[in-house]
A = this chain, B = another copy of it.
Amino acid sequence: MFRLSKRVEYGLMALQHLARRSGVATAREIADASNIPYDLLAKVMQSLKRDGIIDSYQGVKGGYALMLTPEAIPLKRVIEALEEDVALTDCNANGAQGCDRFDTCTIREPLGGLQQKMAETFSGMTIAQLL
C-alpha cells in the first residue's frame, strides 16, 4: 500500500525524541511519550542500535542515545536499518529471486530509474528536519 511501516514510524518518533532531549532516554519513556507499544518499540531500538545510529546502555539508569548528530542521520538510513529497502519492486531489490518473468520483464529498468530518484529523496532528508 506504499506506506512506511509502523517500525519506521516508531523509529522516526524515537529518534526525534532522542534528538530533542540530547541525552539518554529509555524505551519505556519514549513509548509513553509517543503512545507506542513498548515491546514493539524495544525491537525498533535494537535495530537502530545494531545499525550504529544510536548507542545503548544496559541496567538501571540505562537507555539509548544518538551516536550521530541529527543532521547526519538521513531517513534512508533509518528505513534500511529497520529492515526495509527503498525499492519499488522485488527484482530491483533482490534481482531475479522469486520473479519468474525476470528475463522478459520490460518495466524493471525504467522503474529502477524512478527508484533511484526516490532513494535520493530519502537520502536528502535527515532527522534534523523533523525538529
Interface string of A107-131 (1 = CB under 8 A from B): 1001100100110011001000110
Q: Which residues on B sit within 8 Å (CB–CB) of A89?
A: 3-4, 9
Chain A contributes a number of interface residues (CB within 8 A of B) equal to 36
Q: Which residues on B sit within 8 Å (CB–CB) of A35?
A: 100-101, 104
Q: In the complex, which residue of chain B has the Cβ closest to the Cβ of A20?
A: B106
Q: In the complex, which residue of chain B has the Cβ closest to the Cβ of A13?
A: B107
28 A-B pairs in the complex with CB atoms less than 8 angstroms apart = A1-B5, A2-B3, A2-B5, A2-B79, A2-B85, A3-B87, A3-B88, A3-B89, A3-B90, A4-B111, A9-B89, A13-B106, A13-B107, A16-B106, A34-B104, A35-B100, A35-B101, A35-B104, A75-B114, A106-B130, A107-B130, A110-B125, A110-B129, A114-B122, A114-B125, A117-B121, A118-B118, A121-B121
